[in-house]
Amino acid sequence: MNTYFIGLDIGSSSLKMIAARPQGEGEGLEIVASGEEQSSGMRKGAVVNPEELAKRISMLKTRLEQTISGRIEEVVVSIGGSHIFITPSRGVVAISRADGQISQEDVERVLSAAQALSLPSNKEILEVVPQEFVVDGNGGIKEPVGMRGIRLETEVAAICAFSPYVKHLQDAVLGANLEIIDIVPAPLASAHALLSSNQKELGVALLDVGAATTSLAVFEEGDLIHLAVLPIGSDNITQDIAIGLRTVPEIAEIIKKEQGTCLSSQGKRMERVQLEGGEEIKFPRKLLTHIIASRMQEIFQLANKELKKVARQGKLPAGVVLAGGGVKLSGVIELGKKEFRVSVKRGIPQGIWNAQADPAFFGAMGLVARAYEISGSETRIHASRQGNAWKAVKKAIRVFLP
């Protein structure tokens, strides 16, 4: 029986699901099936109507099951929305062994202590990412197990979310008869497929421009140092085009996909787009470019403000890596280099065979990569009976992953 890893990326405009299987030890994953379905019950990246979303997820699941000739019972799923935020925390424990040697149990205890955050009752922790361990005042330690000391401390980044939206997401996925084995914050999803350990070590930002939101994750010295979800995305470009060209959003979306560019246009050249039914719409090329470039520039500027908060604006040696459907526009790389003043490129999936070049699927690819990284061979079709064992492994391991 084949082992499959399933990722479900839940976006504001569409759902994307990928099934992948391991190629062999150390050889990465091969995508064997992928699908996309229009979203429903979403607003600004958050689930607001679980019942409607569950119907869409079920439709997508059924199509993939037909492709792989098997049942899908478990998924790694993403959660998005501007309600997601990051906050620092600190944990301190005394080393338990009489000889002072740090054990895995000590590490788990100090990480548990770091999760004792004072959060509002409607907020919860999604994930805790260790940034460093400190042994008897000596910091910068990544792997403390086996060292000796008296006192163990840790600095972590706690990724948190609005509890009702988390519950809505869970209800929607469970309503589609799927078990959730992990919930990954959207800003980290694409990073698992696109960023190398070397990029994270040098300093890199992953910018994922979705339909309704834009996610940013910043890494340095191998650690996540900042995360943000901006309440603006490529749908805003579509709406601007609809207003500027005096047309409806459906036609504006067609124009954006067929003629959209961030590159400045000179002269008074007129463009024409043929619509169904023989209707034709005409517009100045220069006006369309101005509309698109202005909104994309705003997105980049908001991302730059987030980089400034952690003193990384213009100071990322590995640059900015782009993902998401919103970065498919022509000229987005050139505009990004101008705004960020570092290298900018679209992401390339790593360790994934048959990977689609479509940046809109990078998040789903990251979810299957995440499952592969932390679960061994537990995230599989026909393997729901092993879900509890997988969760136990995940609880022990996930805190050490970026």
User: Domains plus CATH for the chain?
Assistant: 5-82+163-195+349-400 (3.30.420.40), 85-160 (3.30.1490.110), 197-348 (3.30.420.40)
How much is the pLDDT for 385? Answer: 30
C-alpha to C-alpha distances, 100 to 3, 93, 109, nearest whole angstrom = 42, 12, 15
- Please tell me whether the overall predicted TM-score, pTM, comes out greater than 0.75 for this model: yes
The region, left, alpha or beta by phi > 0 then psi within -120 to 50, assigned to residue 23 is alpha
Q: Where are the alpha helices (DSSP H) in 10-162?
A: 50-68, 104-114
How much is the pLDDT for 263? Answer: 87
* pLDDT per residue of the chain (402 residues) written in tens, 0 to 9: 467 899 999 999 999 999 999 887 667 889 999 999 999 999 999 999 999 999 999 999 999 999 999 999 999 999 999 999 999 999 999 999 999 999 999 999 999 999 988 899 999 999 999 999 999 999 999 999 999 999 999 999 999 999 999 999 999 999 999 999 899 999 999 999 999 999 999 999 999 999 999 999 999 999 999 999 999 999 999 999 999 999 999 999 999 998 899 987 665 678 777 777 777 888 888 999 999 999 999 999 999 999 999 999 999 999 999 999 999 999 999 999 999 999 999 999 988 887 778 999 999 999 999 888 876 544 333 333 333 333 443 444 344 344
- What would you report as the CA-atom Rg of the chain, rounded to the nearest whole angstrom? 22
How much is the pLDDT for 393? Answer: 37
| CA–CA distance, 200 with 269 (Å, rounded to integer) | 44
How much is the pLDDT for 267? Answer: 58
Strands 320-323, 204-209: parallel, antiparallel or unpaired by DSSP?
parallel
Residues 36-46 as b or e (16 or more Cβ within 10 Å = b)? bbebebbebbb
Which positions ≥6 away from 38 have C-beta within 8 Å? 13, 14, 15, 56
How much is the pLDDT for 271? Answer: 79
User: How many other β-carbons are positioned within 10 Å of the β-carbon of residue 269?
Assistant: 9
How much is the pLDDT for 377? Answer: 40
How much is the pLDDT for 375? Answer: 64
Identify the burial level of 249 via C-beta atoms within 10 angstroms of its C-beta, where 0-12 means exposed, 13-18 middle and 19 or more buried: middle
**Closest to 43 (Cα-Cα) out of 213, 283, 249, 252:** 213
Which positions ≥6 away from 27 have C-beta within 8 Å? none
Identify the burial level of 248 via C-beta atoms within 10 angstroms of its C-beta, where 0-12 means exposed, 13-18 middle and 19 or more buried: exposed
